[in-house]
Chain A
Amino acid sequence: MTHSSELEARKLSKRFPDGTTALEEIDWNVKQGETMVLIGESGSGKTTLLRLLNRLAEPSSGEIFIQGHPAAKQDPIALRRRLGYVSQDGGLFPHWTIHDNVCLVLQLLEWPIAQQDERFNSLLPLVNLDPIQIASRYPIELSGGQRQRVAVARALAADPPIVLFDEPFSALDPLTRHELHEQFLTLKTTIQKTMVLVTHDMAEAFRLGDRITVLKDGHIHQIGTPQELIDTPATPYVNSLIQHHLA
């Protein structure tokens, strides 16, 4: 089972020093090339799970495997450079140009400048941005949607096998969000990456996810495709989510 999963969690728990339990003994996995959506209310543990994957947080107990290897045994810095990451507000460096922002990980990996430029130019069209027009601009000069697309390009720059998205579209207006959903789906088919996306928006989950993990109070209520969730909701909570969504 280990070798077939790109990401896997075994009996994973996370308790905070203040006593709250964010995750309780969860077993969970993501297959290669799959887009897994984590959905839940705030406090459900979905963001904690994401942060445990790239070791921004350490588990209280249990294990995480990245491409079959225990995450705990890897250097966190090297690990993170192999995992793309897009945060809620993009997290672009405000004092860096778009070019420098996108090439951040390449720079950390010490790519030659010429290759960085080449990568930049081939990457931006993927997220529907004109590399020449935008290279020397600063984040503040872009719209929210543009900034988020830059953040996606930055996450993809070093061609990581896995990309993590922490509520990437939640701060955008509905029109822009819709547009980015479309682009996300196109991108998904072109780049074939394993992706984990955190959201609290059921519509987004249904639209983008190959499979969906429903989390509540640190427990997994159900893992399944959108259709499976609709057809056979595992718990009353999942059922209520579905009903609410379909209504």
Chain B
Amino acid sequence: MASTNSTVIVGSKNFLENRLLAEMFAQLIESQTTLTVKRRFGLAGTQICFQALTTGAIDLYPEYTGTGLVTILGESAKQDPRAVLNQVRYEFRERWNLWWLSPLGFDNSYALALRRDHAQSLKIRTISDLAEAAPTLKAGFGYEFIERADGLPGLKHIYGLKFRDVVGMQQSLKYQATERGDIDVLDVYTTDGRLAVYDFVVLEDDQSFFPPYDAAALVRGETLEQHPELSKVLGLLTQALSPERMRELNLRIQEKGDAIPQVAHDALRNLHLVKEPQAPSSITIKKPTSFLSYMWERRGPLLVRTGEHLGLAGIGLSLGIIVALPLAFMLERWRTGAETMIRLIGMSQTIPSIALLAFMIPVFGVGVLPAIMALWIYSLYPIVRNTFSGLRDAAPTVVETGRALGMTEWQILRSVRLPLAAPTIMAGIRTAAIWTVGTATLAAFIGAGGLGVPIVSGLQLADVDVILSGALPATLLALIVDGFLGWVERLIQPKGMEPSQ
């Protein structure tokens, strides 16, 4: 699963700056070494990324020292950047043989930002000032921030912050929410380009609560041993990116809609780390005016994504059918304990899909395999449930008469119960199919591709067109699959089951 001899897998979290850094790492490795780079971008959150790294599903990804200290090691925050770096370096090496390379030169810290009109009218400059006004204000925070010790819980503890209301939001959508005046306070990344665009004031962390978040490449020790050149090449980025520079680069992606590979390339060229200018035609996306022409322009990649999507859902569903059908047959035969068993399987449905995907990572790593496993688990219940009840409830008096006339149980199953239960079984498969097609959009969070990829990046870009370019084909796909299986369902409806007149 980990890198083969000549391949290095670069991962990233699912926000823009992290993707951009990962893309820069990837391009740098590609231009300065003979290694092949595989990209697994957009993994959902710190835990998934970190697990992917420890299991060898990826070789490296951009991480932040403060996150390593607080979120991964569970230590309390420290203020001295050097001390934080040394501590994470030591602990990660000792515990997991993971190496923090030299910081890239900017600190992407969390900060709190307040609408400028509030800041001025309430005369708020620091987070301590904010604490007094907080009970009248509404906060929009990222989900991770709400949970992290170096996020809201710690803030509450140190500053005694208590807001009128806290809304959990996707990081990238928050700025838009503020435009409507719904949200007064945001958690922001200090390198977020949009700070300059939207009218927000970053509050001073007067109690020095937030630890430093110096960005650096986090790499597996084994990978470094195998490819010693990696540390040298990635070392070229040491202290290469200032916070201002990073804000600029982020803003290009966030507001101008420039493609990440292009921005990464420009940044590297600016540092004289790559030579040849990339052919702009292949990369620059000049945003077409209408959604339809955007879709048309993206038809190639979208078709590939649709193929991936169908593959994920199709394999997951097929595995589901292969396991669920015989299982339901056995359960129907035994009866005792069947309901309990089916309920247990049913409980798998109550696990939120993104959580289920996350559970798969320690076992299967990231990528296609865990996604298929998760989809497989999701598809089991409706098929088992429908097959079981379909067989059990198939015309009991008819079954009894068949038995009385001397049919064996096998003959009854094959000639009576199965044909009579077929439409019910098919309905279960149909339900499972729609679920898997729908849930497969989440596979993008663990780097498995599919139509979720444009949805996830669209969410980060807060670009409705990009979201729709994934969501619309996904919906269409679900409708087509539903229609097709409905047709099959009617096809296998036994004759004589409906009045012919």
Contact = CB atoms under 8 A, between A and B. Distances in A.
Interface string B386-422: 0000000001011011111111100100011001100
B164 interface: no
Contacts of B483: none
18 contacts: A77-B407, A77-B408, A79-B406, A80-B404, A87-B400, A89-B397, A91-B397, A91-B401, A92-B401, A93-B398, A94-B398, A95-B496, A97-B496, A108-B411, A140-B497, A140-B499, A141-B496, A154-B405
Contact of B406 (A94, A105, A140, A164): A105
B495 interface: yes
Interface in A96-111: 96-97, 104-105, 108
B406 A77 contact: yes
Interface string B459-501: 0000000000000000000000000000000000011111110
A139 interface: yes
Contacts of A65: none
B500 A138 contact: yes
Contacts of A91: 397-398, 400-402, 404
A108 B497 contact: no
Contact of A95 (B402, B403, B419): B419
Contacts of B411: 108
Given A56-B400, A91-B398, A94-B395, A85 B405 contact: yes
A161 to B, nearest CB: 14
B416 A80 contact: no
B406 A78 contact: yes
Given A91-B398, A94-B420, 11 more contacts: A77-B406, A77-B408, A81-B405, A87-B401, A90-B401, A91-B397, A91-B404, A95-B496, A138-B496, A140-B496, A141-B496
A105 B408 CA distance: 12
Interface residues of A, number: 29
Interface in A202-230: none
Contact of A92 (B398, B406, B419, B499): B398
Interface of B: 395, 397-398, 400-408, 411, 415-416, 419-420, 494-500
A54 interface: yes
Contact of B497 (A56, A92, A95, A155): A95
B404 A85 contact: yes
B489 to A, nearest CB: 15
B405 A80 contact: yes
Contact of A108 (B401, B407, B494, B500): B407
A121 interface: no
B411 to A, nearest CB: 7
B398 to A, nearest CB: 5
Nearest to A92: B398
A141 B406 contact: no
A24 B499 CA distance: 46
A56 to B, nearest CB: 6
A21 interface: no
A80 B403 contact: yes
Given A88-B397, A108-B411, A141-B500, A94 B494 contact: yes
Contacts of A154: 405
For B401, B404, B405, the residue with the greatest tally of chain A CB atoms inside 10 Å of its CB is B405
Interface in A120-161: 138-141, 154-155
Contacts of A80: 403-406
B494 A95 contact: yes
Nearest to B419: A95
Contacts of B407: 77, 104, 108
B406 A96 contact: no
Give the 7 A-B residue pairs with the shortest CB-CB distance, closest first: A91-B401, A138-B496, A95-B494, A81-B406, A80-B406, A85-B404, A87-B401
A95 B411 CA distance: 15
Contacts of B397: 87-89, 91
